[in-house]
Amino acid sequence: METMYLVGFMGAGKTSISQELAKRLSVPVYDTDKEIVKSSGKSINEIFATDGEAKFREIESEVLQKMPSEEAIVATGGGIVGAERNRLFLREKANVVFLYTELSEIIKRVEGDDSRPLLQKGNLDAAETLYRSRLPLYRETANIEIDTSGKSIPAIVDEIVERMKN
């Protein structure tokens, strides 16, 4: 199979769904955030605080390009679609899944999680603006869209497997 990339906003379930999908398809799973932490030796919060978001985005694009193109599942960071070069890279791929989740559901899921610098100030207006600006970018980048609302992880994985191309 060609590698499957999962895109979507923070809290859409990319990490847990990627792990379940990888088990189901018996392929390794990668997470761009984890690869960034591994290669820089710093947490995401630290990179944002000491090097800035622009540096984070630079590393994120490099990490994306280095992911295996076959036999893998790749969960991406919610902001990966912000860079045009990442969108162009992903649009060439056969299996890019946008996990659509309503903003109200996302807010519930990420409440109390302080590992995401862009949601840390508890600023819901900023989160909403970011969410709305990214929706069209996820849609133009992905070729499969799955609405995750009210669905269990195994049900979402079933749907993805049904719709994936080889």
Q: Which of positions 68-87 make contact with ligand S3P (CB under 6 A)?
A: 77-79
For ligand S3P, which is the closer residue by CB, 125 or 162? 125
Buried b or exposed e, range 17-50, using 16+ CB within 10 angstroms: bbbbbbeebebebbbbbebbbeebeeebeebbee
Closest separation in Å from C-beta 44 to ligand S3P = 5
Q: Please state the length of the chain.
A: 166
For ligand S3P, which is the closer residue by CB, 118 or 164? 118
Strand-pair partners of 95: 4
For ligand S3P, which is the closer residue by CB, 117 or 143? 117
Q: Which of positions 88-147 make contact with ligand S3P (CB under 6 A)?
A: 116-118
Nearest 5 degrees, angle CA 140-CA 86-CA 62? 165
State yes or no: residue 33 binds ligand S3P (CB under 6 A): yes
For ligand S3P, which is the closer residue by CB, 26 or 74? 74
Q: Which of positions 42-61 make contact with ligand S3P (CB under 6 A)?
A: 44
Closest separation in Å from C-beta 33 to ligand S3P = 5
Nearest CA-CA partner of 77 in 17, 34, 21: 34
Candidates 4, 5, 6, 10; binder of ligand S3P (CB under 6 A) is 10
Closest separation in Å from C-beta 26 to ligand S3P = 23
| Beta strand extents in 107-159 (DSSP E only) | 144-147
For ligand S3P, which is the closer residue by CB, 71 or 113? 113
Listing DSSP states for 16-42 in one string gives: HHHHHHHHHHT--EEEHHHHHHHHHSS
Size of the site for ligand S3P (CB under 6 A): 10
5 within 8 A of 96, measured Cβ to Cβ: yes
In the complex, the residues that contact ligand S3P under the rule CB under 6 A are 10, 14, 33, 44, 77-79, 116-118
